């Protein structure tokens, strides 16, 4: 005689399997969300750090008297950098600002934009340094500039931030102090 399964056995088995699959899916889904959040956070971090790196390297080659504004804090900064040949006109003005109103009409806001109309500039007149930036500030003091950057991006209905991952403290920013290497003239 062939032995089979009763309906009850199959129903119980299906129920148990369903619970197991649901539990496994739950774990996998949480893992997937965390993975995607991490990717977003890493992207945010890279955006902010790359922009900071580029700004620091360029502002470093300026001089205290070549900063606009010459002192105080501002969300926009303009400056000139030392020319390749001493005695030539300084290169610039180079400006960094946060594009909150999409001035470059690319449909994307919250970008750090670098403008330089000097035709000698190999980087061209306009360049986007980073996306998803919510805070950009420059504080110019006697011979240095403090730069503050913070980034934020919405992912699956909630915000992810840099440098504080889950936006618990938006007062925290990525800071770097740049010493101006050239002298006043």
Partner 1 sequence: MNKRGIALIVAFMVIVVLTTFSLVIFVRSMSERSIAQRYVESTQAFWLAEAGVNRALKELKADYSVSSGNCKWETNLGAGRYCVDLGDKDINGRRTLTAYGYVPFTTPARAERKISVLVESSGSNPSNPELITYAIETTGTLRITGSVDIHPSGSSHQNSNLTFEEVFGMTEDQVKAIAISAQDQGAGHVYTNPPANQQPVNGITWVDLTGSNKYSISSNWSGSGLLIVNSNGNDVALDISGAWTFTGMIWVTGRVKISGTPVINGAIFAKSSIDAQSDFSGNATINFNSTDVSSAFSSLGGGGSGELTVLSWREI
Q: Which residues of the shown chain bind partner 1 in the complex (CB under 8 A)?
A: 57, 60-61, 81-84, 86, 181-183
Please name the residue that has the structure tokens 């290497």: 181
Bridge partner list, 77: 96
Nearer to partner 1, 167 or 174 (CB): 174
For residue 59, what are the contacts with CB-CB under 8 A and spacing of at least 6?
77, 79, 145, 147, 178, 180
Contacts of range 86-91, beta carbons closer than 8 Å, 24 or more positions apart: 90/66, 91/116, 91/118, 91/120, 91/121
* Closest to 79 (Cα-Cα) out of 7, 178, 172, 157: 178
Residue nearer to partner 1 on the CB measure, 74 or 182: 182
| DSSP character at residue 120 | T
Shortest CB 28 distance to partner 1, Å: 15
As measured in angstroms, the least distance from the Cβ of 49 to partner 1 is: 9
Question: Which residue's CB is nearer to partner 1, number 98 or number 178?
Answer: 178
Strand (E) positions, the chain?
Answer: 67-68, 72-74, 77-81, 91-99, 111-116, 126-130, 133-140, 144-155, 158-162, 174-179
Nearer to partner 1, 81 or 98 (CB): 81
End-to-end Cα spacing for the chain? 105
As measured in angstroms, the least distance from the Cβ of 96 to partner 1 is: 18
Nearer to partner 1, 54 or 167 (CB): 54
Instruction: Output DSSP code: residue 173.
Output: -
Residue with Cβ nearer partner 1 (82 or 164): 82
């Amino acid at each position: 005689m062939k032995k089979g399964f009763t309906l009850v056995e199959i129903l119980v088995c299906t129920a148990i399997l369903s619970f197991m699959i649901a539990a496994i899916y739950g774990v996998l889904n949480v893992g997937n969300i965390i993975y995607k959040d991490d990717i977003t956070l890493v992207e945010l971090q890279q955006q902010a750090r790359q922009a900071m790196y580029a700004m620091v390297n360029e502002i470093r080659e300026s001089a205290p008297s070549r900063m606009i504004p010459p002192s105080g804090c501002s969300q926009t900064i303009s400056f000139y950098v030392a020319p390749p040949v001493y005695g030539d006109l300084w290169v610039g003005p180079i400006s960094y600002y946060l594009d909150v109103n999409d001035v470059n009409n690319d449909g994307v806001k919250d970008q750090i934009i670098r403008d330089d109309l000097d035709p000698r500039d190999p980087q061209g007149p306009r360049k986007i340094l980073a996306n998803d930036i919510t805070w950009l500030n420059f504080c110019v003091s006697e011979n240095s500039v403090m730069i503050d950057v913070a980034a934020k991006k919405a992912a699956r209905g909630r915000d992810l931030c840099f440098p504080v991952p889950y936006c618990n403290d938006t007062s925290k920013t990525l800071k770097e102090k740049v010493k101006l290497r050239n002298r006043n003239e």
